[in-house]
Amino acid sequence: MSIYPWQKQQWNLVYQRYRRGNIPHSLLLAGPNGLGKFEFSRHVASMLQCRQPDEQGHSCGQCKGCLLLKAGTHPDMHVVTPEEDSKTIKIDQIRKLCDVMAGKPQLGGYRVAIINPAGAMNINAANGLLKTLEEPGSNTVIMLVCSRPGALPATIRSRCQKVVFQAPDFEISKEWLKNHHVNSDFPLLLGLAQGAPLEALACINEGRLEDRGVFIKEFTGLKQGIQNPLEMADIWKKKHPEYCIHWMMTWVMDLIRLKSAVGMDRLINNDSSEHLQPLAKQLDLKNLFKFLDKCQSGVQQMTTQVNVQLLLEDLFITWIKTR
């Protein structure tokens, strides 16, 4: 197990605290999706539970702790994620975790917990975690993985040491993707992935670039009256509804850039400039911002038990009416 090239600064921060013997009891790993924050948390856990990490803090992979981690049976390693068919982490899951974390490590090292994604905790679950964050047991490290730390209660954020992850420079991402056999329109790919290399790789591996091409063609057809918004919502709710909203947002942001006289080289959808330019001339800037706000609200709603069909219908119909 190794960290990604763009995580060296964050790793050094955590490792130096570990080396000095004052690693925080709670870490908030914050940053956009697609940067490997969860993998980073697993790497920190492997360092804490390895009996002989090397001088850079990387686990040996051979000791009892490492072998148990590899087998997924380490008694002092706990990962909390939303239960199957649920988008939220519930109070019962956090209560169970807190009970376990209150005890002593079974193997005499660190007791480690990862909550991923921390933003999935409902308010009761977040409140239930507070006491453990305030009064952690000895040799306890809790890591909260979060793409939207602002959505966490301030009481949670204030009790964690924040480790911030940011999208790497374009050339670093491009080189990493090339090393993983990706040969694509890198400005388009990384633009759609918001600069996150792992998200860009997933776009390729899951065929999302092709799906996005189909979606954009249908989305532009809404204003031309050749696409039915209800039928389109019924189709895309079964595919990638969260990505549909993201693709709409990139489209609208490009229209806003064109309305603001930003250079063509700044467009995310650089393969669609012939469609974007005439459309930008027809639409009001204020209305584009209103639609962008509506899309952002849709992103928030997708983290709840929302009716996806109705959400997409509303967005598509609103787009048709946007002038």
Residue-level pLDDT at 141: 97
> Mean pLDDT, the chain, as a whole number?
95
Mean pLDDT for 233-254 is 96
Q: For residue 22, how far is the Cα from the chain centroid? A: 28
Which residues are 29's β-sheet partners?
A: 145, 163
- Whether residue 312 contacts residue 233, with contact meaning beta carbons closer than 8 Å, is answered with yes
pLDDT at 270: 92
Q: What is the mean pLDDT of residues 142-150?
A: 96
Between CA 212 and CA 261 the distance in angstroms is 25
Tokens for 244?
Answer: 């549909």
Fold of 207-321: Zinc Finger, Delta Prime; domain 3 (1.20.272)
Tokens of residue 204, six digits: 């390729």
CATH architecture of 5-164: 3-Layer(aba) Sandwich (3.40)
> Tokens 């209800």 map to which residue?
230
Q: Identify the band that residue 172 occupies on the pLDDT scale cut at 50, 70 and 90.
A: very high
For 185-224, the pLDDT digits (tens) are 999 999 999 999 999 999 999 999 999 999 999 999 999 9
Q: Is 31 left (phi over 0), alpha (psi -120 to 50) or beta?
A: left
Asked if pLDDT for residue 108 goes beyond 90, the answer is no
In this prediction, residue 1 carries a pLDDT of: 60
Domain boundaries, the chain: 5-164, 207-321
State the DSSP string of 175-213.
HHHHHTT--S-HHHHHHHTTT-HHHHHHHHHTTHHHHHH
Q: What share of the chain is helix, strand, coil (3-state, %, to 5)?
A: 55, 10, 35
What's the one-letter identity of residue 210? E
Convert the pLDDT of each residue in 45-69 to its tens digit: 999 999 999 999 999 999 999 999 9
**What does the pLDDT look like over 3-18, one tens digit per residue?**
999 999 999 999 999 9
| Higher-pLDDT residue of 77, 104 | 77
The strand ranges marked E within the chain are 26-30, 77-80, 111-115, 140-146, 161-164
Is residue 303 within 8 Å of 121, Cβ to Cβ? no
Q: How confident is the model at residue 305 (pLDDT cuts 50, 70, 90)?
A: confident
